[in-house]
Structure 1
Amino acid sequence: MNDVGDDAAVATRLETLRVEHRDLDAAIAALAEGGASDQLQLMRLKKRKLRLRDEIAVLEDQMIPDIIA
């Protein structure tokens, strides 16, 4: 069973990851708009964004209680 403190910590971490994900989205868009973009940097940012998305999905699953059907 999840403790209320654990839920609050997970929710805080989740919000931090979502903000970082949005920031990466903006950075990727800005880098892509710049004509001579650094493809290696762009790939690294996209990989980081995907890892964040995966971590966000795991934390969201933790927040949802298990339902026995």
Structure 2
Amino acid sequence: MRGFITDSTACGRLRLTDGLPEPDPAADEVVVEVRAHAVSVLAAEPFAVIFGPSAPDNGLRKGD
């Protein structure tokens, strides 16, 4: 089975892989086939934007 797993060394910290074990649902669970999905990764690392006189020149200005 193919699926995404978390991987701190991969771009976006997700990696598509083959060979995952088939799910074994309990009596009160269900398996749903997914043919497509989207993953939105805004930033791989936490970040901050600093405004004000001590801000680095990062090309961002308040109000932009």
Query: Structure 2 length normalisation: TM-score?
Result: 0.23
Higher RCO by CA contacts (8 Å cutoff, separation 6 or greater): 1
Q: Which has the higher strand share?
A: 2
Q: Which has the higher helix share?
A: 1
